[in-house]
């Protein structure tokens, strides 16, 4: 009888324990990418004047001449520009990437239950949204964001979205990944991202695309097999702006003045993924990829079967 009672007890306790484990809140998209810029005026000339976006708001920093500037892509996505004086001129420009959730505090508790280092509480940022930062296995900073009803993001819905925008969506952000298996666990198993494609430019895997679980945006792993130089980081860390016709977008941008100090764009090409693209570079060399959503011929490109590079130490990303 005692054995039967113990078995019954374990039968009922196990589901209760599973039931008490925090569930992952929804992750609906890529909120933004944040970069340090050496000259805010030149950076704004590129993202606003050249690419055609507008800034809905900015926040002064310690130096009144410096501001933290938001470049609005659409009502849910942006690029954040931080004053470069906060970091060494020789460092990488990427500060962080951000994903949007519908429950930041629930996500904090969920991540904690999975062994991810999280802050002791969910804060509210300067523009009125819930947010906090965690680290991925490569040392990249990932911000968790929940847009609040009275935050500045929702306050400016439907505003600052001019017809001059070269693209209305940021389809993905690219981050350097040296710890592939650990990154697949973090983004895939824990955050729930789904792999949609992988490609290789040689004998080893080069890229892996993982889509957010409740949306269409994705993160692109930029894999490496040797310690990257700063120039490599500037090229690999990137954002992708999605356009219906790359040639048409390129013609529009050719008619606009490329700000002084910007590297000339690459010629239009078809990538390994079969999609047409043009690479542009902001005044600090950060790559902005203009790319079509589908392959040039409408046929899917099979994923690569090449092995991932051997794990390498983190590339020492920006720290504040």
Instruction: Give the 3-state DSSP-derived string for 95-130, with helices as H, strands as E and coil as C.
Output: EEEEEEECCHHHHHHHHHHCCCCCCCCCEECCCCCE
Give the angle subtended at the CA of 190 by the CAs of 186 and 194, to the nearest 5°. Answer: 85
Q: Is 220 in a helix, a strand, or coil?
A: strand
Kindly give the residue spans of alpha helices, DSSP state H, lying in 127-239: 152-155, 180-183, 230-236
How do the pLDDT tens digits run along the chain, 320 residues long? Answer: 444 444 334 333 444 445 578 999 999 999 999 999 999 999 999 999 999 999 999 998 777 678 899 999 999 999 999 998 766 666 789 999 999 999 999 999 999 999 999 999 999 999 999 999 999 999 999 999 999 999 999 999 999 999 999 999 999 999 999 999 999 999 999 999 999 999 998 889 999 999 999 999 999 999 998 888 888 888 999 999 999 999 999 999 999 999 999 999 999 999 999 999 999 999 999 999 999 999 999 999 999 999 999 998 776 655 55
CA dihedral 150, 109, 99, 220 (to 10 degrees): 180
Beta bridge partners of 43: none
What pLDDT is attached to residue 227?
A: 84
Please give the CATH topology (third level) of the domain spanning 27-291: 2,3-Dihydroxybiphenyl 1,2-Dioxygenase; domain 1 (3.10.180)
Q: Which residue has the tokens 């968790």?
A: 144
- Using DSSP bridges, classify how beta strands 141-146 and 130-135 pair: parallel, antiparallel or unpaired: antiparallel
For residue 281, give every residue at least 6 positions away whose Cβ sits within 8 Å of its Cβ, in sequence order, or none: 234, 262, 263, 265, 287, 288
């Amino acid at each position: 009888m005692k054995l039967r009672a113990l078995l019954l007890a374990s039968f009922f306790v196990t589901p209760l324990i599973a039931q008490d484990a925090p569930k992952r809140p929804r992750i609906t998209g890529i909120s933004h990418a944040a970069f340090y810029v050496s000259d805010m005026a030149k950076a704004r000339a590129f993202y606003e004047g050249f690419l055609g976006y507008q800034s809905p708001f900015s926040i002064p920093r310690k130096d009144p001449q410096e501001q933290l500037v938001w470049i609005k892509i659409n009502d849910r996505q942006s690029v954040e520009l931080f004053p470069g004086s906060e970091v060494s001129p020789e460092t990488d420009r990427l500060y962080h990437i951000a994903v949007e959730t519908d429950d930041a505090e629930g996500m904090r508790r969920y991540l904690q239950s999975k062994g991810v280092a999280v802050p002791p509480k969910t804060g509210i940022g300067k523009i009125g949204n819930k947010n906090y930062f965690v680290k991925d296995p490569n040392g990249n900073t990932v911000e968790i964001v929940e847009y609040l009803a009275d935050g500045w993001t929702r306050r400016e819905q439907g505003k600052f979205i001019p017809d001059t925008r070269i693209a209305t969506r940021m389809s993905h952000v690219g981050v350097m990944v040296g710890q592939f298996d650990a990154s697949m666990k973090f983004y895939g198993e824990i955050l729930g991202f789904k792999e949609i494609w992988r490609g290789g430019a040689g004998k080893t895997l080069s890229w892996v695309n993982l889509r957010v679980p409740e949306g269409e945006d994705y993160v692109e792993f930029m894999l490496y097999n040797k310690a990257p130089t700063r120039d490599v980081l500037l090229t690999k860390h990137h954002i992708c702006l999605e356009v219906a016709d790359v040639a048409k977008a390129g013609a529009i941008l050719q008619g606009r003045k490329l700000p002084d100090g910007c590297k000339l764009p690459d010629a239009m090409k078809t990538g390994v993924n079969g999609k047409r693209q043009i690479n542009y570079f902001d005044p600090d060399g950060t790559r902005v990829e203009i790319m079509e959503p589908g392959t040039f011929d409408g046929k899917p490109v099979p994923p690569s079967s090449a092995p991932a590079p051997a794990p390498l130490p983190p590339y020492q990303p920006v720290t504040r």
